[in-house]
Amino acid sequence: MADSNFPRFTAIIVGGSLVGLTTALALEKAGINYVLLEKGDIAPHLGASISIHPHTQRVMEQLGVWPEIKATAVPLDIRKHYDRKGKLFEDSSILQEISKMTSQRWTTFIERRFMLSCIYNQIEDKSHVRTQTCVASFTETEDGVEVITDKGETVKGDILLGADGIHSTIRKLMADKVAITDPTASQEMQAGFTSTYHCIFATSKNARVSDGTQFLPSGGVHNVYYPGFSGVVAIGVPGFAYWFMFVKSEKQTRMPEIPKFTEEETEATIAKYGGYALGPGYTFKDLWDSRVKANMLSLEDGVLKSKWNTGGRVALMGDSVHKSTINVGLGGNLAVEGVVHLVNGLVPLVRQCDESGRKPTKTEITAVLDAYEEKQRPHAKTIVTMSRYVTRYEAMETWWLRLLRRVSPWVSDKTKAKAFVGYINEAPWLNFLPDPYEKQ
């Protein structure tokens, strides 16, 4: 057995994101020490929402997060698809079919901030989470990794995980180090994502300002298809409408030139497209007038081609290495898959080494990080490609996509659900915690 005075293995997590907080909670459940560094606050007041699919619900059940989410959210059940003339061309029960095939687990939409709060609430020892703390640099050695914060503090650990999003500081620092020996790889790391669409993300009250009538019932989803743009609205929490307007940009851009938008540009987009219907009897502008918060952002997508780790103790996770357009709503779920792959490899290694009274070597840690990437990269490619395709499909970019939209209603919901559930069933779960599926 390990000596109680033996220094504990410590993971340094950068970013209080969905990925960062889920990793922190999973490590706490496994009894592994960590410190999480977040440059801002936990669960900031932003306008984004997130979809939860059955395979992510499974992991949230394992971590004890799901009861709080379930107490507020409702399952999405009926999805109605409308064409540019307002005609209902598909009344889909695919979400109900998916639920039947996954032990009655849900697909739902909630505020991202709420989900982060639910995960954070389950962390027992919150002293491991440090907010208002940025990373300035890091140094790797054979024996560990050392982070210097913007406050000049030194944080020491055995592994460094960059869960700090699309504009990752850890990825930039990795790229700076790689630039000395491999300029091409360094450039790819910094410019590895492109954007062809931009999107208004918004949360509105599920009631028209003029007369208070609901836009759609709780659990409902409406999709609308126009040439060059599309929209979706979902009621995953009673009283609130989470909606999106997807617009094709004038040109494709690549990081770091991907644009950011001003409030004036957002208002101009609403002025241009707001009069179009998103569902029966209401428009984008009606939802906009009922908004609680909204923002317009570019939709980056791609999978980082270069290696996701330094060949040592530092690795990237989540949006820092794979980013998908949001039409399918699988980006956050994909990120949770990555957490599970990494933690499932790390936990047995740390426990084995604890039993031997030693810490994992650099070579052993690198092997875990390589295995995580080997498992996660194929799914990332699949989701990014599929999401990109659906974005183009909903905006009817080409004649054959317009034709496919006409064919889609003739394919049964059960057939579509089986294809999606096939993907869900491949998703990993935390194998050091009880499997909630076994309780069914």
Number of other residues whose CB lies within 10 A of the CB of residue 134: 14
Q: Mapping DSSP to helix (H, G, I), strand (E, B) and coil, where does residue 186 land? A: helix
Low-confidence stretches of the chain (pLDDT < 70) are 1-6, 47, 437-440
Rounded to whole angstroms, how far apart are CA atoms 83 and 91?
12
Structure tokens at 382: 């699949």
Q: Which of 175, 44, 198 is nearest to 113 (CA)?
A: 44
Look at residue 1 in the predicted model and tell me its pLDDT.
41
- What's this model's pTM, rounded to 2 decimal places? 0.95
Model pLDDT for residues 270-287, shown as the tens digit of each residue? 999 999 999 999 999 999
Structure tokens at 322: 């794979």
| Residue partners of 46: CB distance under 8 A and separation at least 6 | 112, 113, 293, 295
Q: Which of 157, 393, 111 is nearest to 148 (CA)?
A: 157
Cβ–Cβ under 8 Å, residues 295 and 112: no
Q: If phi over 0 gives left and psi between -120 and 50 gives alpha, with beta otherwise, what is residue 200?
A: beta
Look at residue 26 in the predicted model and tell me its pLDDT.
98
Cβ–Cβ under 8 Å, residues 161 and 10: no
Cα–chain center distance at 373: 17
Cβ–Cβ under 8 Å, residues 231 and 244: yes
Look at residue 404 in the predicted model and tell me its pLDDT.
78
Write the DSSP symbol of residue 127.
Answer: G
Structure tokens at 167: 């504009």
Number of other residues whose CB lies within 10 A of the CB of residue 172: 18
Look at residue 324 in the predicted model and tell me its pLDDT.
95
If you classify domain 10-193+303-439 with CATH, what class do you get?
Answer: alpha beta
Structure tokens at 321: 């290495």
Q: Which of 318, 432, 295 is nearest to 16 (CA)?
A: 318
Exposure b/e, 179-207, CB count within 10 A at least 16 = b: eeeeeebbeebbebbbbbbbbbbbbbbbb
Q: Mapping DSSP to helix (H, G, I), strand (E, B) and coil, where does residue 325 land? A: coil
- Residue 424: phi and psi, rounded to 5, are -60, -40
Domain ranges of the chain: 10-193+303-439
Rounded to whole angstroms, how far apart are CA atoms 402 and 409?
13
Rounded to whole angstroms, how far apart are CA atoms 31 and 351?
9
Cβ–Cβ under 8 Å, residues 166 and 323: yes
Helix (H), strand (E) at residue 140: strand 135-140
Rounded to whole angstroms, how far apart are CA atoms 27 and 344?
10
Task: Give residue for tokens 């028209």.
Answer: 208
Cβ–Cβ under 8 Å, residues 427 and 337: yes
